[in-house]
Amino acid sequence: MQDDWEDKTVVAGDVPVAEAPDGKRAQLVVLAGPNVGEMYSLEGTHTMGRGRNADLRIRGDGVSRQHLRFVVNGEEVRLEDLGSTNGSFVNGERADTVTLRDGDKIQIGSATILKFTYQDKMEEDFQRQMYESASRDGLTGIYNKRFFQERLANEVAFAVRHQSSLSLLLFDIDHFKRINDCHGHPAGDYVLASLADIVVPVIRGEDLFARYGGEEFALLTRGIDAESAAALAERIRRAIEGFPFVHEGQELKVTTSVGVVTMPREDISGGDDLIAAADKALYEAKHSGRNRVVVASLAAAMSS
């Protein structure tokens, strides 16, 4: 079931992008819902939905596996609803088949709103830069806390509704203040950026990795059980422990403590619950010696 729930929308096809008469390209911009701010080029024919076979895969309550189709024919772009359960709406009106005009607003599901528009290369680049600057941490290049929190609620809601696996790894750098105090803040920044570079190759493309606080990081991963999540956390911990951190000729000893929680769990119904359970496990890792992985216990959570 989790295969129908992807972090990244994929644009399929390798055909020329449809262009308006003035040379601008047909685009969809996400105005509301998951992936807000992201933009997709329309080229050829695409299906949109949450299913694994959709060309444009998008999450959201009320989105069908195969929800609608966009058909590009020369200068014309047509929207066709594919018999979706909750329908497709263009400018507030339910639409089965409609030719789109620049500026049309498309709603699918309960919260996903797209804008159809034509943009030139400069406008497209600006839109992508705005999206990146709003969702990425400037130092590490990974997602920022704001973006992570926006996505967390939707991920947890989906996992609760479908009783599917969702794991959160919450970890931070042991004795990070000591690094800053002894070696200066540039050394601390080097450690933070390097840690992100270490973790990214270890995780999957669909995993959501973010800088959650000053020296705290969060990794949200779907479709793996508690044992696999713990193994992933241990692999990350070892990779960081074994990395040769060297800043301005000085070797730095860097380790991390990791708290892990996996749902479905009866005590977790929202994002705050998931964060609290992982944070409690992280606290235990810190206070039991650091540089270790602790998996959240359901029994401990229920008794607290």
Q: Give me the DSSP letters along 177-238.
A: HHHHHHH-HHHHHHHHHHHHHHHGGGS-TTSEEEE-SSSEEEEEEES--HHHHHHHHHHHHH
- pTM score of the predicted model: 0.64
Mean pLDDT of the chain: 85
Encode burial over 163-192: b for 16+ CB neighbours within 10 A, e otherwise.
ebbbbbbbbbbbebeebbeebeeebbebbb
Mean of pLDDT values over 160-180 = 93
| pLDDT of 155 higher than 70 | yes
Model pLDDT, residue 94: 95
Flag whether pLDDT at 121 surpasses 70. no
pLDDT band at residue 110 under the 50/70/90 scheme: confident
For residue 212, which phi and psi values (nearest 5 degrees)? -90, -30
Amino acid identity of 155? E
Residue 239 above 90 pLDDT?
yes
Question: Which region among 61-70, 84-93, 125-134, 150-159 has the lowest average model confidence (pLDDT)?
Answer: 125-134
Bridge partners of 250? 247
Residue 255: pLDDT over 90: yes
Share of the chain above pLDDT 70, in %: 84
Instruction: Provide the residue type at 94 as one letter.
Output: R
Residues 186-226: tens digit of each pLDDT: 999 999 999 999 999 999 888 999 999 999 999 999 999 99
Residues present in the chain in total: 304
Question: Is pLDDT of 105 > 60?
Answer: yes
Interstrand relation of 105-108 and 88-90 (parallel, antiparallel or unpaired): antiparallel
Q: Which residue has the higher pLDDT, 31 or 243?
A: 243
The larger pLDDT score, comparing residue 91 to residue 299, is at: 91
CA R_g for the chain: 22
Catalytic position from the list 19, 155, 215, 248: 215
Give the mean pLDDT of 85-105. Answer: 94
Indicate if 123 belongs to the active site. no
**Poorest-pLDDT segment among 21-25, 27-31, 170-174, 241-245:** 21-25
Residue with tokens 């570079």: 197
CB 74 within 8 A of CB 42: no
